[in-house]
Structure 1
Amino acid sequence: MAVDVRWATTGDAVALGVMLCEMAVHYRQPPLDSERAMAAARKWLGEESPAYQHFALAFVDGEVAGLASVAIAHPGIDLERLLFLKDLFVRDHARNAGVGRALIGFLASHCLSEGIGRIDLTTEDWNEGALRFYAQLGVERHGQKIFLRLSGEALAAAAKS
């Protein structure tokens, strides 16, 4: 099965919207309204500069099969930038067919070509499939950091301070 991976463009809003809806269900969130997801995808893809990519999409036979949502952070170790992989998601019917590996390979190649020194990522502790997948890639568990979140009322309070 040939997997085509590329950076998402404004023409990929529908594909990105489909992925956002399926991700919400997979990550045990309430289902998203598809129109709302499509509107968000159009907005996000339309406002980004070409030099900074947020989404890589994987296609199999022209149908969207996977998504990587990323951010580039400065500086990393020894002044090298890092790529933070926020989400890697492969649709149920395309799992175990090389889509995830193709997305990671695409991101790794991008890092090497752009002088980005590493990929950092997180996954839920209950997501055993993701943990197995990352272990097969040689991803090391890095116990030096604790994942924290500022949201809701605490976010609003921080904005006022």
Structure 2
Amino acid sequence: MDDHTLVPDAVPGPSPLVRRARPHDLPRIVELMREHTAYEKAAPPTADVADRLGPLLFGTAAPPRLHCVVAELAGGEVVGYATCAAEMSTWDAREYLHMDCLFLRDGSRGHGLGRQLLDAVVAVARELGLTEVQWQTPVWNEGAVRFYNRLGGGAKEKLRYTLPVPPIG
């Protein structure tokens, strides 16, 4: 699949496009990740995140462990991204695509780019033979909740927990 098949009408030109991330996008993706974590009132990515993220996105694994699509303005500025990875549902005994992040810079929202990013994530799911995309958003993020509801997403009430695994020794 080439970069421009994720969104059928995405072609280079005067309008924005959504395409697969390329290795040279990594520094910009990390900048956007920092904006994203600040927006969600979370801890910023660690200083070495690009070193760890690069191999997941652009390593030799086929398919890659992590997929990323970016929203690019006509001038070449990347203003948003979405990341996703295949995950397993025990209850359904099948894989689904987990969209971990979808973020657009302030000022880039409300112009259809979010829909294009989500459409590109759906295209990745289709490419991997997966029939469902799942994601989560903070309950306080009313704009995201409205956006996802408008697109036909359905919410499931759950709390998300994290448990650090301490090193042995």
**TM-score range normalised by the length of the shorter chain:** 0.7 to 0.9
- State TM-score, norm by structure 2: 0.76
Report the residue type matching 1:148 in the other structure: R
Superposed displacement of residue 9, structure 1: 2.8
Structure 1 CA distance for aligned equivalents of residues 43 and 20 of structure 2: 27
What is the match of residue 134 of structure 1? 148
Q: Contact between 1:3 and 1:98, CA under 8 Å: does it hold in 2?
A: no
Q: Contact between 1:21 and 1:32, CA under 8 Å: does it hold in 2?
A: yes
1:25 aligns with 2:38: yes
Aligned positions, number: 150
Superposed displacement of residue 46, structure 1: 2.9
What is the match of residue 121 of structure 1? 135
Residue among 73, 96, 102 paired with 1:60: 73
**Aligned-residue CA RMSD in angstroms?**
2.5
Structure 1 CA distance for aligned equivalents of residues 160 and 91 of structure 2: 21
Residue among 68, 74, 82 paired with 2:96: 82
Q: Contact between 1:8 and 1:45, CA under 8 Å: does it hold in 2?
A: no
> Residues 64, 14 of structure 1: CA spacing in aligned structure 2 closer, same or farther, 3 A cutoff?
same
Report the residue type matching 2:120 in the other structure: F
Q: Is the partner of 2:63 in helix, strand or coil?
A: coil
What is the match of residue 50 of structure 2? 41
Unaligned runs of at least 5 residues, structure 2: 1-13
Q: Deviations over 1:62-95 (max 9, x none)?
A: 1111111212113577654201111111100101
Structure 1 CA distance for aligned equivalents of residues 42 and 77 of structure 2: 24
Identical counterparts, % of pairs: 25
Q: Contact between 1:80 and 1:115, CA under 8 Å: does it hold in 2?
A: no
Greater helix share, 1 or 2?
A: 1
Structure 2 CA distance for aligned equivalents of residues 97 and 138 of structure 1: 18
Q: Deviations over 1:92-138 (max 9, x none)?
A: 01010111101001111222233111011111010000000001101
